[in-house]
Amino acid sequence: MGVRDEAVQIAGEIAELRHAIHREPEIGLNLPKTQAKVLAALDGLPLEISTGQGLSSVTAVLRGGPGPVVLLRGDMDALPVTEETGLAYASAVPGAMHACGHDTHTAMLAGAARLLSARRADLPGTVIFMFQPGEEGYAGARHMIGEGVLDAAGERPVAAYGLHVTSHRLPCGVFSTRPGAMLAAADKISVTVRGRGGHASTPHQAADPIPVACEMVTALQTLVTRKFDVFDPVVLTVGSFHAGTTDNVIPDEATFLATARSFSQDSRSALAELVPRLIGDIALAHGLTAETVYATEYPVTINDATEAAFAWETAAAMFGPERADLAEFPITGAEDFSFVLEQVPGAFVMLGACPPGNDPMTAPTNHSAEAVFDDLVLADGTALYAELALRRLAAGRLLYVEVRRCTVCVWRR
C-alpha cells in the first residue's frame, strides 16, 4: 500500500488533531497547548524529539538507514482574528483563529511523521519534522534556525519542503508551485512626520503634519510606478495612518505604517534606500521633519528550480497532472519558510482547500474571519509530505528531475 492509501486510513485521526488545534488557537512564538497536542500525537513514534528554548517549537528526527537528510516543515500558529465560520470545531477563543490554516499543516505533518515512522526500516536516510510557531510576523523559522533545527540530524538537509493551504484561488485538492520566487519579501515601513501643532483656523502659524503625510502616501505610490521595473514589481500599501484628535486642532505629529513587498534583492534594496529619502525630502520641502524606520522582515521565498520541479512531478505522479498546478506568477504574500530556503534548497507548495461547491475565486481568503479549509485535503496533504521525503531520500544527495515534456517550455521560461 502506498502512502496515499495509508494517509486515507488515518485521515480521521488527522482531522481530529486538526479540530483540537483549531478549537484552541494560540498566537505568536509561545503555543504551549498546541505544542502539547503535537507531542501527544508523536508519542510512541521512533523519533528523537526536542523542544525549543525561546519558542514552543517541536523538532522531531526520524533516523532510517544511511542516506541524506530531508526537512519537512509545518507551522502551528494562529492569527488575532475572531472566527465567524460557524464550523462545529470553530475557535473557542475570542480574538484568535486558525485563519491561515496552520492547524491543517500541523496535523498533516504529524500524520506524515506517523506514516514515515512505520517505514523507518526501509527509509534511505533521515527526516527532520519542523513544527514551527510564530510564522505570522514573529519569524519563528528564523528562531528555530538559530536554535539549530537545520542541524538537528547532525548533517544539513539536502532539501526542505513546506506545504500551505489556501481557502481561495486554487480549487480543492490542487497543489501549486513554481521555480524561483514563490512568495514576496515583506518589509515594514514606520513613518513619523513631526510638525508644530496649533489652532486649525490659523494653519500658517503652525506646521501641519497631516497634508505632508498625505502627500507622502501618494508620492510612495508614484515611486512604485516610476522607479521600479514593471517586470520586477513591488507592492507598497499604507495600512495604518494616524494623526490628531479633533477637527479644530492641528496636531504635532502624523504617523503611518506601510508594508512593502518585492520579489528580488535589487528591488528590496532599492525600496530600503528610496523610501526614506523620498519621505525625508518631502518633509524638508515643507519645513518639517520625518523619521522613517525601514525594517526588513521576511525575505523572498525562492524555490530551487530542480526541487520545485521535483515537488510538482511528485504531486502530478500521485494525484494526476490536473491536480498539479504550475503557478505562472508568485504570490504577494510572504512566508518565513524563506529563511529555511535561504540555507537549504527546497520548495514551498500551496494546496487548495476551498470547500468543494464554493467558488475559489470568491471564497473568503486566508486571514479572513470566514476562511474555511476543508478536511478533505488532509489525507492528500499528509501523503504529499510523506512522499516528498520518501522520493527525495531515494534520489540521494544529488537530485535530477526529468520534467514532463508538456511542462518543459513553461518550466524553462
What residues are annotated to the active site? 77, 135
CB of 117 to Zn ion, least distance (A): 26
CA count, 13 A, side-chain hemisphere, 362: 3
Least distance between Zn ion and beta carbon 135 (Å): 6
User: Nearest distance from residue 101's CB to Zn ion, in Å?
Assistant: 7
Of 373, 330, 296, 343, which is closest to residue 91 (Cα–Cα)?
A: 373
Shortest spacing between CB 80 and Zn ion, in angstroms: 12
Minimum distance, C-beta of residue 359 to Zn ion, in the bound complex (Å): 21
Nearer to Zn ion, 100 or 108 (CB): 100
Which residues in 85-104 contact Zn ion (CB under 5 A)?
100
Pick the closer one to Zn ion by CB: 102 or 114.
Answer: 102
The count of chain residues that interact with Zn ion, using the rule CB under 5 A, is 1
HEC profile of the chain: CCHHHHHHHCHHHHHHHHHHHHHCCCECCCCHHHHHHHHHHHCCCCCEEEECCCCCCEEEEEECCCCCEEEEEEECCEECCCCCCCCCCCCCCCCCECCCCHHHHHHHHHHHHHHHHHCHHHCCCEEEEEEECCCCCCCHHHHHHHCCHHHCCCCCCCEEEEEEEECCCCCCCCEEECCEEEECEEEEEEEEEECECEECCCHHHCECHHHHHHHHHHHHHHHHHHHCCCCCCEEEEEEEEEECCCCCEECCEEEEEEEEEECCHHHHHHHHHHHHHHHHHHHHHCCCEEEEEEEEEECCEEECHHHHHHHHHHHHHHHCHHHEEECCCCECCCCCHHHHHCCCCEEEEEEECCCCCCCCCCCCCCCCCCCCCCHHHHHHHHHHHHHHHHHHHHHCCCCCCCCCHHHHHHHCC
Name the minimum Å distance from CB 235 to Zn ion: 16
Residue at grid coordinates 526529468 = 402
Give the nearest distance from C-beta 74 to Zn ion in angstroms.
10
Of the pair 251, 360, the CB lying nearest Zn ion is at 360
Pairing of the two strands 58-63 and 48-51: antiparallel
Binding mask 42-81 for Zn ion (x = CB under 5 A): ----------------------------------------
Q: Do residues 91 and 35 touch, judged by C-beta distance below 8 A?
A: no
Closest separation in Å from C-beta 372 to Zn ion: 15
* Helices 32-42, 11-23: inter-axial angle, 10-degree rounding: 160
Closer by beta carbon to Zn ion, 149 or else 331:
331
| Residue with smallest beta-carbon separation from Zn ion | 100
Binding flag, residue 182, Zn ion (CB under 5 A): no
Q: Of 100 and 372, which has the nearer Cβ to Zn ion?
A: 100
> Of 100 and 395, which CB lies nearer to Zn ion in the complex structure?
100
The smaller minimum CB distance to Zn ion, of residues 34 and 126, is found at 34
- Nearer CB in complex with Zn ion: 100/174: 100
* Residues near Zn ion, by CB under 5 A: 100
